Structure 1
Amino acid sequence: MGIERLSYGDEVFEYEVIVRRDLTNKVQIHVHPNGLIQVDKPDGANESDVKKAIRKRARWIKTQVDIVRDMRAHALPREYVSGETHFYLGRRYRLKIEQSSSPLSSTKLLAGRIVVEVPNPNVDRVRGVLRRWYKERAADYLGRRLEIVASDMRWVDETPHLRLTTMKRQWGNCSPNGEITLNPALVKAPRDCIDYVLTHELCHLREHHHGLEFYQLLASRLPNWKAVKSKLDSMAELLLV
């Protein structure tokens, strides 16, 4: 169905409708951390079903969008200069930029700081070096946590293949063939938030939808998942920049 519009009061919100063949129950609505509104509809649902669901939850949608706007208003764009705050595993670190005497660049954690050494410390170079470091850390740490979390789930025969991809809307997803994709920015989050995302995606290996059975399974593995998800959502604007 593509991009549609919702009028509520004096505002007009755009939302994207996605047909989900794995969705067998009602229309589901998500407001992502970047403010985008996504509406998942079962294959058999028609346009009137979608509009009815949107109208019914219009007030909730506006509230969630307002929360996102407020968080984004306080999230300053990164300048990649010394003294700036960056996150790793839920902790804040001060960025320290040092000019390297060699042509090679390096990044390391040192005494509460993320130290980046580059031969030419301009913004683009520092950003690139730091992003590569986060992706390397994500491959190592998220891979190890995935193996640990998966080992405790009886329906998982072997640890799924992990792929890292920068995503604007999601922390992760699970493909129909069982491959798990994670946003490398997830390594900036606290461990309980990381484990929530991993648990969520691993539950999709058994329940390939967001229906009642899926959430029952998720709750059986992580009873406080709603609180952890809320915590992660509240940090999204700080972690995804």
Structure 2
Amino acid sequence: MNLPIKPKSLPMSFRYGDEQLAFERVKRPLATASILIKVHPDCRIVVSAPENANNEDVLCAVKKRGRWIYQQLREFRKQLEHVRPRQYISGETHYYLGKQYLLKVNEAPDQGQGVKLLRGKLEVTVRNKDADRVQEQLSRWYKARAKEVFSRRLDAVLEQALWVADKPPLRILSMKTQWGSCSPKGRITLNPHLVKAPRECIDYVILHELCHIAEHNHSERFYRLMRQVMPEWEKTKERLDGMAKLFIT
């Protein structure tokens, strides 16, 4: 079962002032009657609602929070005005394990190429300051770190996953639409971009896939397992969803 970077959703919208605001309705798996509204840093409005809630009730709940939603959007839009596409030059910020690091590009024609994390900076050494070369070196570095970090975190969370008898095989694969997946034979595949996220977000994705070893579908049994091993998993998922656009670059 795949864990998508962006959850399946139903597009809806409502009018606030002179603006028609679009939002995504997603299924809230917990057994609760409440409707959860979240405005993400990339200005996505996501409404988590129980499956049995009709669209009229969801729309009514969203309209009641219209002013708050608009204020959140206004703040995030101001922040996004200063966000530019990555150019892979010195001074940019890049993420690793949930923290931001300044990028420093060193041009050294006679030295080996590579990346080092030194004194709060990601230092990339290349033979010439070509953006594609810098991006390539960073991608290799992230994949190498991902392999090490994910293996350690898998060992750690396996102590909670008592239904898993042996450590499952782990594969690192770049994906645009998924954080991870679990094959029918129990092989776990994780997206190297996930290593840019905080540790608890990495643990959440790994636990999600480990739960699929016991229950391949998103059944009530699956969510019971998730609640047992990570009671606050929904909040962690929301945090990861909100930062996805910062990591998948």
**TM-score, normalised to structure 1's length?**
0.72
Contact (CA 8 Å) 2:160, 2:229: kept in 1 or not?
A: no
1:76 is matched with 84
For residue 116 of structure 1, report the CA deviation from its aligned partner: 0.3
1:238 is matched with 246
Match of 1:214 among 210, 222, 226: 222
Contact (CA 8 Å) 2:109, 2:128: kept in 1 or not?
A: no
1:157 is matched with 165
Q: Helix, strand or coil for the counterpart of 2:178? A: coil
Within 1, Cα distance between the matches of 2:113 and 2:173? Answer: 23
Q: Does 1:86 align with 2:94?
A: yes
RMSD: 4.0
Residue type of the alignment partner of 1:171: W
What is the CA deviation profile of residues 7-65 of structure 1, one whole-angstrom value per residue up to 9, with x for unaligned ones?
99999x9x9xxxxxxxxxxxxxxxxx998xxxxxxxxxxxxxxxxx99997898xx9xx
Identity %: 44
For residue 82 of structure 1, report the CA deviation from its aligned partner: 0.1
Within 2, Cα distance between the matches of 1:79 and 1:93? Answer: 15
2:231 is matched with 223
Within 2, Cα distance between the matches of 1:212 and 1:191? Answer: 26
For residue 118 of structure 1, report the CA deviation from its aligned partner: 0.7
Q: How does 1:60-139 map to 2 (within 5 A)?
A: 73=80, 75-102=83-110, 104-139=112-147
Contact (CA 8 Å) 1:75, 1:237: kept in 2 or not?
A: no
Within 2, Cα distance between the matches of 1:107 and 1:7? Answer: 45
For residue 152 of structure 1, report the CA deviation from its aligned partner: 2.6
1:193 is matched with 201
Q: Between Structure 1 and Structure 2, how many residues are aligned?
A: 220
Residue type of the alignment partner of 1:227: K
For residue 216 of structure 1, report the CA deviation from its aligned partner: 1.3
Q: Helix, strand or coil for the counterpart of 1:171? A: strand
For residue 170 of structure 1, report the CA deviation from its aligned partner: 1.4
Q: Larger relative CO (CA 8 A, sep 6+): 1 or 2?
A: 2
Q: Helix, strand or coil for the counterpart of 1:204? A: helix
What is the CA deviation profile of residues 134-161 of structure 1, one whole-angstrom value per residue up to 9, with x for unaligned ones?
0000011111111221233111111111
Match of 1:140 among 132, 137, 148: 148
